[in-house]
Amino acid sequence: MTVPVRVRFAPSPTGLLHIGNARTAVFNYLYALRHHGTLILRIEDTDIERSAEMYTDRIMEDLQWLGIHWQEGPDRGGDEGPYLQSQRLSLYQDYAERLNREGHVYKCFCSNERLEALRQQQLSKGTMPRYDGRCRSLSKDDVTQLESSGQQPVLRFHVKGPPVIFDDLVHGRMNFDPSGIGDFILVRSDGMAAYNFACVIDDHAMHVTHVIRGEDHLSNTPRQVLVYRALGWEPPAFAHHPLILGPDRSPLSKRHGVTAVSHYREEGFLPEALLNYLVLLGWTPPTGQEIFSQEEITDVFSIESVSRSAPVFSRQKLEWLNSHYLRQKSDVELSGLLAPYLAKGGLAPDRIDPAYLARVAGALKENLVLLSEAEGYLGIFFDEKFLFHEEANALLRDGAHRETLRGILLVFGRTPTITEDGWPSFLSRLAKETGRKGKALYAPLRAAATGMMKGPELVKTLPLLGRERIIKRIEMALEAAGNG
């Protein structure tokens, strides 16, 4: 009988959702979808000092924005809850007492100062730092005396037994010698379960079948397998994907730019573009295809095909994908996505004619890489934001360009109406009747009509501005240049 696939994404609410953690969430989500399984969202908030409910809310908000849906979690409940580790402390305590009774753990009273001195001594000798087992030999009387003096011990797992061997779905057969691990902490002195303990208890209790996470956890896995072994449980399957690197091939961090999903969201990246890009980081589909719908990704994604080599983050590639997805939006869809950026730019979207806003979105579509870039073009289409940018002013001070604008005004004067479809032919008339063509004609026209030297195509922009508004702006341009 096949066991239903159950995976989990288990972030710590100590900060905003990092782009690397979001990739782990995406891999888990796609694996669950591919195998018709269950995705669990578990919040690992046992770091009381650094955890905050605000971050839990932000993490869930960013996951939902990305299009990741979980079936069990703190907001949805489920049969294996609660899904906040801070609400599962009694469960950890029960298993810690069982391991103590069965002789798998012992109390350790070593101070932080001693442990640091031990670590430095081992490093100076070129050996891997690990606990030396000093408190393992304490007698019951020794433990009683130390506790009576007010010292709070940690609970350490006694590492022993044969090598830890498991098959990683990404890295293949892994073999760890227990002698190189050292006795590790299961319960901290404040009574809180350590990561390698709480993680095992929760994954077993929640019937997790596959643990998909970053390879920074690969060194934790043998410790967790030892706990599984001590409790007589079968470990889940493990898959440790490589971490994302920055352009300098060091782990992606703030020095490489923004790393939080919420920051990409605020900049105006689309969730489907970011999800698509995260999947491609370290995984190449058999067909070489780069742009997918979520359904297509689900059909072809395989965690076993993720490369062992760490991928390098490319903002340029992400922006390329985003611009593609923006161009695929209908004008109406895009106008809805632009609304928050109009508001940020000082406009009230609900007071703008929706049909006009959709046409503005259509005109901008080819020029946008990020939604937030729309703010820079608002002055073209909305008079209250209109101004002449410095580059446009510099061009308009040129006498030849002012002469071109006066010629353009004359043609407008001889053309009392211009139909919606008549602008291409009107531009041809401008070239013929002013004797200007190419940049000599369109650069001053763009500068005067839009206040900018770049932007959407004039053939799309001018109909949105209309004859009267263009004439008024040309007259303003000439006046500002001292030739009104």
Which residues participate in catalysis according to the annotation?
254
Other Cβ atoms closer than 10 A to 401: 21
- Which spans in 329-389 are helix H? 331-344, 354-364, 378-381
Give 369: exposed, middle or buried? Use CB within 10 Å, 0-12, 13-18, 19+.
middle
- With beta carbons less than 8 A apart as the criterion, state whether 89 and 96 touch: no
DSSP label at 387? Answer: -
Tokens 């043998």 correspond to: 222
Task: Identify the H or E element spanning 54.
Answer: helix 53-66
Other Cβ atoms closer than 10 A to 429: 15
* E-strand stretches of 33-135: 38-41, 105-108
Distance CA 250, CA 240 (A): 18
SS3 290: coil
C-alpha closest to that of 205 among 70, 365, 92, 318: 92
Give 435: exposed, middle or buried? Use CB within 10 Å, 0-12, 13-18, 19+.
exposed
DSSP label at 366? Answer: G
